[in-house]
Chain A
Amino acid sequence: ELKVEQNPLFLSMQEGKNYTIYCNYSTTSDRLYWYRQDPGKSLESLFVLLSNGAVKQEGRLMASLDTKARLSTLHITAAVHDLSATYFCVPTSGSRLTFGEGTQLTVNP
Chain B
Amino acid sequence: AQSVTQLGSHVSVSEGALVLLRCNYSSSVPPYLFWYVQYPNQGLQLLLKYTTGATLVKGINGFEAEFKKSETSFHLTKPSAHMSDAAEYFCAVTMISNFGNEKLTFGNGTRLTFIP
On whether the two chains bind one another, the answer is no
